[in-house]
Amino acid sequence: MVEMTAFPIICAISHFWEYTEFWGLLVIILAVFVLLRFFVKVNCEIEAEKAQKARMDAQENRRMNEELTALQKQTAETHSVAGIEDTSLFLEDEEEHLCHKSDNVELLEPKPVRVGGGAGASVHVAKGVTLHSGGGASVSVDSWQRKSVGILYVTNKRVIYDGDMENRSIPFEEILSLRSSSKNLDVSVTKGRKKTMRFVGCNSKLIEWLVHELSKGRLEVSPVASERT
């Protein structure tokens, strides 16, 4: 009698288990499907953002190249670049004219940061680049730090940066090297400041060419209209 009573209970439990197992498996499948769709969507958004950034960078590089090409054509015969007027900038006695001005330019300089030691650390070195260090002895790395935002000028004698926090005056004869890449212009000098200065947000290719031609004497700055009269 006990066996006959227990049999329906065992059958019910078995059916219930099969039922819950089926729905449990279905829930797992649905969860995996939702997660896959989520990851695919996120990946598509990331790829779309990368593609958009690449298009914007390409457009910006094309614009900068067009500006440089136009300036080179203008100066090919006269070997002179038109001066511009800016009453907010006081030039030195030996300076004649201002010939370039870029607004909203960021000044960056490398700053040593110690990473590592203890349980490990990470530091943001550059855009999209992070250095990770495990535990143990710490190491020192240079990380670009924004110092100021302001206006970058080029005269016939020097590069001038007028920022909201810091200023720079760089005579051509003190420039050790100029390196342009995309929107970045890296300037190294021979005197005083040993750190490389990075100017971000300007037509670096145009400025590099302009400074090189002016410093070699292959280009002059013509006076502005108000100075001719």
Do 84 and 182 have their domain in common? yes
C-alpha 201: how far from chain center: 9
Do 18 and 96 have their domain in common? no
DSSP label at 196?
P
Do 90 and 154 have their domain in common? yes
185-227 pLDDT, tens digit each: 999 998 777 789 999 999 999 999 999 999 998 988 887 655 5
64-120 pLDDT, tens digit each: 889 889 988 988 888 888 888 877 777 776 666 888 999 999 999 988 877 765 555
Classify 205 as helix, strand or coil: helix
Q: Under 8 Å CB-to-CB from 137, ≥6 apart: which residues? A: 116, 117
Do 3 and 100 have their domain in common? no
Classify 187 as helix, strand or coil: strand
**Within a domain: residue 123?**
no
**Within a domain: residue 140?**
no
106-142 pLDDT, tens digit each: 999 988 877 765 555 555 555 555 555 555 566 767 7
Q: For residue 94, what is the domain's CATH number? A: 2.30.29.30
Do 100 and 184 have their domain in common? yes
Pick the closest to residue 159 from 217, 111, 222, 89 (CA basis). 89
Do 58 and 88 have their domain in common? no
**Within a domain: residue 136?**
no
Measured between alpha carbons, how far is 200 from 211 in angstroms, rounded to an integer?
17
At residue 15, does pLDDT exceed 80?
A: no
Q: How many domains does the chain have?
A: 2
Q: Give the residue with greater pLDDT, 127 vs 49.
A: 49
Do 95 and 67 have their domain in common? no
Helix count (H) and strand count (E) of the chain?
3, 11
**DSSP result, 38-90:** HHHHHHHHHHHHHHHHHHHHHHHHHHHHHHHHHHHHHHHHH-EEE-B--TT-P
Q: Under 8 Å CB-to-CB from 178, ≥6 apart: which residues? A: 185, 186, 187, 207, 208, 211, 212
Domain region containing 70: 1-78
Give the end-to-end CA distance of the chain in Å, rounded to a whole number: 123
Tell me how crowded residue 49 is: count the other CB atoms within 10 A of its CB. Answer: 10
Give the residue from 56, 78, 100 where a domain finishes. Answer: 78
pLDDT mean over 8-15: 56
Do 190 and 216 have their domain in common? yes
**Within a domain: residue 166?**
yes
